[in-house]
Amino acid sequence: MSLEKLISLISRLFFFGAFVLLGLAVVEKVANEAGYTVLQGVTRAGRLLDFAVVLLIFVIAMQLRSMKEELKSRKP
């Protein structure tokens, strides 16, 4: 497996994981407002959002690296 395919796969996994964490955070917050919990006190909804942001920062970094490599290969 080439490095570009590996970076693409990891980027997609991180992106999907970030949206899963975002959805879980929203569900947890709504459940907390109703007096229930989904995560049973393991973590807070805000902490899940922190993890989602970290994953998205890695996705952005990988995309910027890919763009840099693309521009470098186009130069004569």
Structure-derived torsion over alpha carbons of residues 54, 58, 64, 69, reported in degrees to the nearest 10: 170
> Which DSSP symbol is given to 38?
S
In the chain, domain spans: 3-74
Residue the block writes with tokens 């007096």:
35
pLDDT in tens, 24-69: 999 999 999 998 988 888 888 889 999 999 999 999 999 999 999 8
Q: What is the pTM of this model?
A: 0.83
What is residue 41's predicted lDDT score, i.e. its pLDDT? 80
Written as six digits, the tokens of 15 are 């992106």
Backbone angles phi, psi at 36, to 5 degrees: -115, 180
